[in-house]
Amino acid sequence: MPKGLADAETWREKLVAQSIERRINGILLDTMPKLREAPIVELPNLINSLTDVHQPSAGATTWVDAGASSRLERYLSRAQAATEGKAVGIPTGLMSLDKAGFTHRPGELTAFLGPMNVGKSSFLMHTCSYAYVKAGARILFLSPESPTEEVEARLDPMLARQMGFTLSYTALRKGQQDPKELERYLMALEGKARKDFIIIDSGENGEFKLDDVIGLARTHRPDILAIDGFHLLNTGSKTTWESFVRAAKRLKGLAQGMGMAVVTVSQVQRNAVVASNDTANLGESAYGLALEETADKIIHLAEVRGDKFKRIYKLNKNRVGERIDRRYVRFDVDGGDIHETEPRVDSDTGSVEF
């Protein structure tokens, strides 16, 4: 061993230990007054902060040559899945994306963007229900606005359709659903005994803090973390721009660090969708471009005006491949029927039929 190396290593370890000690002391000094005032609220934040201290600051490290054999296994497994007609990654439930291999992948951040009331939450629920039933994915669904009971009522018709049953959201809310069909579906769902579609609302706090989201993800270890309202997260930042930048970067880092897919929704500018039957473009998201710049995939949504059962989507940003232009979707939220359709164009009038 070269002279002095052991001493240098010892000093390095001591400096690291002292640095960690200072960080822990600083966290405790900042947190203890808040912990005394609201222990239930602040304890998870303290745990997350202390956990972050132990996390390495650098990202994942790999050696290109030493990892070659493991890459061979990974690539061959993808080839085998493609040969068997299976999706590589977690399917989105949108035909064009899944056929092209643009599925939900570990480490990726995907955003559904669109104007208010276009159905962003329904698209998010659909992709989660499809992944849960068709791919056996573990889902953590965070709902900043709607209580868990409302999310379940909207989600049940989608899950039921994926499982071969027929339910109506309206009938469920009005107490008019066929009880036999409802019982068959719920017993089939409960019979799965998987306990891996977790829905959590914001409760009495009325919001999700970014640290809460990170803590819940670490606790439940989902394949897909779904956040129904990126723009509603509280990061503690003073300005909207700082808040969005911090949230986008932390969620992207969380996806990479935990090897899961993060899928969220947010709004576009009010004046973005001005053309008839068309989506917004990149650069037209509300509250700044932080989410667009950070996300791996941006999917824009829009209504087909005059028909509440139709939607348009575009894959306007795709870090792993080409974009996908206008696609049409059957959008029957009441019956849980959301699926991409092949349009038929009338050669005389140019009108689109489904």
Please give the average per-residue pLDDT across 207-215, as a whole number: 91
Q: Which residues contact 273 (CB under 8 A, 6 or more apart)?
A: 114, 115, 279, 280, 302
State whether 33 and 98 are in the same domain: no
Q: Is residue 38 part of a domain?
A: yes
Please give the average per-residue pLDDT across 335-351, as a whole number: 77
State whether 221 and 279 are in the same domain: yes
What percent of the chain has pLDDT above 90?
51
State whether 18 and 148 are in the same domain: no
Does the pLDDT value for residue 340 go beyond 90?
yes
**Please, what is the average pLDDT of the chain?**
85
CA–CA separation, 116 vs 299, rounded Å? 15
HSE toward the beta carbon, residue 228, CA cutoff 13 A: 27
Q: Which residue(s) pair with 262 in the sheet?
A: 109, 225
Does the pLDDT value for residue 2 go beyond 70?
no
CA 319 to each of CA 66, 253, 271, 292, 336: distance values in angstroms, whole numbers, following the listed order? 26, 16, 26, 11, 30
Angle (CA) 229 234 239, round 5° = 110
State whether 264 and 212 are in the same domain: yes
pLDDT score of 262: 97
How many folded domains does the chain comprise?
2
Residue 37 lies in domain: 5-52
For residue 316, what is the domain's CATH number?
A: 3.40.50.300
Q: Is residue 81 part of a domain?
A: no
CA–CA separation, 309 vs 165, rounded Å? 20
The encoded tokens of residue 274 equal 């001005």
Q: Is residue 164 part of a domain?
A: no
Q: Is residue 78 part of a domain?
A: no
State whether 31 and 97 are in the same domain: no
CA–CA separation, 122 vs 119, rounded Å? 5
- pLDDT one-digit tens code per residue, 277-295: 788 888 878 777 889 999 9
State whether 42 and 96 are in the same domain: no
- pLDDT one-digit tens code per residue, 31-82: 788 778 878 767 777 776 776 665 554 566 677 887 787 788 878 877 887 7
State whether 214 and 341 are in the same domain: yes
State whether 202 and 273 are in the same domain: yes
